[in-house]
Structure formats: C-alpha cells, structure tokens
C-alpha cells in the first residue's frame, strides 16, 4: 500500500487526549470530520458469515466459541456457506461479506480458497472482507507456509480486504490476561503489514472496557498509527465495547462501559488518526444505534454495515432496530446527516 505522509503522534500525547474533557474532544473531532466529509455519513449493506464456532484459542471474553466436538459446535460446508451468502444477497442485496470464525483445527486453506472462489463465481459483485491475523497465523502454521504465502493464496482466491479481528488491545500484558492463547501484538501487526504490502487493505480495531488502562489504550492507538504511517493500508478504525454476555470474563466484569466511553474513543481516534486513517466507524452493534448516532457528531464518518446473519454478538444484534438497509438510512437521516451507500473500499456509490 502507498505510505501516507502524516506522522504518528507520541504515546504521551494520546494518553493526554484520553483524559481530555469529552465535550472538548467532541468539538475538535467534529471539526475534523466536517472538514473531511461534510454532512455525509456512509454505510455498507453487508452480511457476516461466521463459518464456524469451533475454536481452540478460547478467549475469556468470547461467548461465541465452542471447543471441538462440543454438542453446539458447527462448521458450514463450502456449499452451505455459499448458499447462505446467496440467500442473504437475494433477499436484501449486499456489497460485502465479512467472513470470520474461530481457529478450527479441521479447516485448512483449501476450504477458504474454495469458499472465496465459489462466492466470486456466483456473486462477483460481493466483496470478500475476510479472516483476521489470528486465522492467517494459524493457517501459516498448519500449512507450514509464510504469512505472505498464505495471504497471496487467499488474495488469488478472491479475498479483497481484511477485518481487524483479534486486535483487542495490542499490549501483551493485557492479552495474556484476556486471551493467553492468542497471537501477540507483534504478530498481529506483522501480518497486517504483510497484507498491506500485498495490496490487501484492512480495518484496525480496538476492544476496550475490560482490564486495560488508559496507557494501554494509548499504546494500542500508537502502534496502529505507527504501522499506518509506514504502510497506509488501514482503511478504517473501529472501536467496540467489551460486551460481557455469558463469557468467562463477563462473570468478572459484568457491566459494559457507558456510551460516553465509546464517544471518547471515537473522538480520540479521529484526532489521533487525522491524516493517517481516513475513516472512523461508529460501531453500532455493541453500543447501540442511538450511541452510534451521537458518534457521528464525535468524529465518526461511517455508520458500519447492516451485519445480516451476525452470530458472535447475536443477542446484541437482536436488540437493534436494524433489519434492513432502509433502517440504517432512516437512523442516519435522524441525526441530520446525509446517508450514502459505500462499497468495500469506502467509495460512495449512492446518496440518499
């Protein structure tokens, strides 16, 4: 990817921003957002294909995964997975499928190559936004291949971009507490850098609201900014709140952070990534549509996707009054912003 010209801010500067008055942060972030995007707020009609819930990593914050051979474990065949994508597309019309699941020892790279090629052959208009650095690292070990080789094969099969899953907080002391079996922060960053070098853009994410400190959040944002200044490959940043649900970590931290915390994270991200990462997503799934509406006034320019068929946070999805694209359009209009449908690369294809 083409490197950007802006420089990453210092860790200390980011930590100070995180302590700044919320309304001051919002004012500064909104000024940047308005200068860049005016009154436009984008979204993408998409679905989430959670191809398996089998996972051997066992993160304490995840209530979705099941160990191998569990009675509730599932894995879609390539045929079933493609059928689900085509059915959602026929019903709603989508531009993107977000493909992510667990680290399932029974699934090799041929599964993804077959899946991606089948989707692109039957629905070439649907972009494949797929797999996380965690899944890429596992495939590299399984296939005894380099990260680059795995990414090249996935790209050749039809993968167009990567989500930022598995990032959580890029501080290893935090990761050892909430997900001790997951890849370390250096590996996550290295795989993202490799993807960017191959022309595979990605998202950057952050899961806050558990055991991290403000310094840890500052470190996370700093590392992402440093990589972006080098590669320019991150299209968007998405912060989301830890949702306790029925997870193991949820028993220790039963209450999520408030909506004000998301607004703070969105505003700080807009300021920190100004000139670096172009898009900041509002993150409606965990925070709720009402908070996401406010986030558009705190620096976010993208509302996110419709997220049809999402299963990882299915109970949160069920709480939201978003069943179709028209609901997202109405929610954005309700804020006073102008809704615009985008494609996988954040290019606007239609205004409403």
Report yes or no: 286 and 240 within 8 Å, Cβ to Cβ: yes
The rounded Cα 323 to chain-centroid distance in angstroms is: 20
- Could you give the CA distance from residue 176 to residue 171 in angstroms, rounded to a whole number? 9
Whether 284 maps to a domain, the answer reads: yes
* Element containing residue 167 per DSSP (H, E): none
Query: Given its phi and psi angles, is residue 190 left (phi above 0), alpha (psi -120 to 50 degrees) or beta?
Result: alpha
Residue 124 corresponds to which tokens in the numbers above? 């070439």
Q: Is 77 annotated as a binding residue?
A: no
Report yes or no: 182 and 134 within 8 Å, Cβ to Cβ: yes
Bridge partners of 47, per DSSP, are 97, 308
**Along the 352 residues of the chain, how does pLDDT read in single tens digits?**
544 446 778 899 999 999 999 999 999 999 999 999 999 999 999 999 999 999 888 777 677 778 888 898 899 999 999 999 999 999 999 999 999 988 999 999 999 999 999 999 999 999 999 999 999 999 999 999 999 999 999 999 999 999 998 899 999 999 999 888 899 999 999 999 999 999 999 999 999 989 999 999 999 999 999 999 999 999 999 998 887 666 677 677 777 778 999 999 999 999 999 999 999 999 777 778 899 999 999 999 999 998 887 665 454 445 566 778 999 999 999 999 999 999 999 999 999 9
- Could you give the CA distance from residue 314 to residue 94 in angstroms, rounded to a whole number? 19
Q: Is 259 annotated as a binding residue?
A: no
pTM: 0.93
CATH of the domain at 178: 3.20.20.70
Q: Is 161 annotated as a binding residue?
A: no
- Could you give the CA distance from residue 229 to residue 5 in angstroms, rounded to a whole number? 7
Whether 3 maps to a domain, the answer reads: no
The range of the structural domain enclosing residue 33 comes to: 11-351
Q: Is 61 annotated as a binding residue?
A: yes
Whether 268 maps to a domain, the answer reads: yes
Q: Is 60 annotated as a binding residue?
A: no
Whether 120 maps to a domain, the answer reads: yes
Whether 209 maps to a domain, the answer reads: yes
Whether 303 maps to a domain, the answer reads: yes
Q: Is 337 annotated as a binding residue?
A: no
Whether 133 maps to a domain, the answer reads: yes
3-state secondary structure of 182: coil
Whether 4 maps to a domain, the answer reads: no
Q: Say how many C-beta atoms besides its own lie within 10 A of residue 279's C-beta.
A: 20
Instruction: Give the count of domains, the chain.
Output: 1
3-state secondary structure of 161: strand
CA nearest to 218, candidates 282, 262, 265, 185: 265
Residue 104 has what DSSP assignment? -
């Amino acid at each position: 990817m083409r490197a950007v010209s802006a420089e990453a801010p210092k860790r200390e500067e980011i930590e100070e921003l995180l302590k700044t008055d919320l309304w001051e942060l919002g004012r500064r972030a909104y000024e940047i957002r308005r200068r860049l995007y005016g009154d436009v707020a984008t979204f993408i009609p998409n679905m989430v294909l959670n191809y398996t819930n089998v996972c051997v990593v066992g993160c304490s914050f995840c209530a979705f995964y099941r160990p191998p051979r569990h009675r509730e474990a599932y894995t879609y065949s390539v045929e079933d997975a493609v059928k689900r994508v085509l059915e959602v597309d026929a019903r709603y019309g989508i531009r993107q499928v977000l493909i992510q699941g667990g680290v399932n020892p029974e699934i090799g790279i041929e599964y993804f190559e077959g899946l991606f090629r089948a989707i692109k052959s039957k629905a070439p208009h649907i972009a494949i936004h797929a797999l996380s650095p965690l899944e890429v690292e596992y495939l590299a070990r399984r296939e005894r291949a380099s990260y680059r080789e795995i990414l090249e094969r996935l790209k050749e099969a039809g993968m167009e971009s990567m989500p930022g899953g598995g990032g959580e907080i890029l501080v290893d002391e935090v990761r050892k507490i909430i997900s001790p079996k997951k890849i370390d922060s250096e590996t996550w960053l290295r795989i993202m850098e490799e993807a960017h070098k191959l022309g595979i853009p990605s998202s950057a994410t952050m899961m806050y609201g558990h055991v991290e400190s403000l310094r840890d959040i500052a470190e996370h944002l700093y590392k992402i900014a440093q990589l972006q200044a080098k590669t320019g490959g991150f299209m968007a940043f998405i912060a989301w709140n830890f949702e306790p649900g029925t997870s193991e970590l949820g028993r220790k931290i039963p209450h999520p952070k408030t909506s004000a915390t998301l607004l703070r994270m969105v505003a700080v991200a807009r300021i920190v990534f100004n000139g670096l990462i172009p898009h900041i997503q509002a993150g409606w799934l965990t925070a709720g549509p009402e908070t996401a509406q406010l986030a558009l006034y705190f620096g976010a320019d993208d509302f996110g996707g419709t997220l049809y068929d999402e299963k990882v946070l299915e109970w949160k999805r069920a709480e939201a009054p978003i069943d179709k694209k028209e609901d997202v359009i109405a929610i954005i209009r309700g804020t006073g912003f102008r809704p615009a449908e985008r494609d996988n690369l954040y290019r606007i294809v239609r205004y409403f």
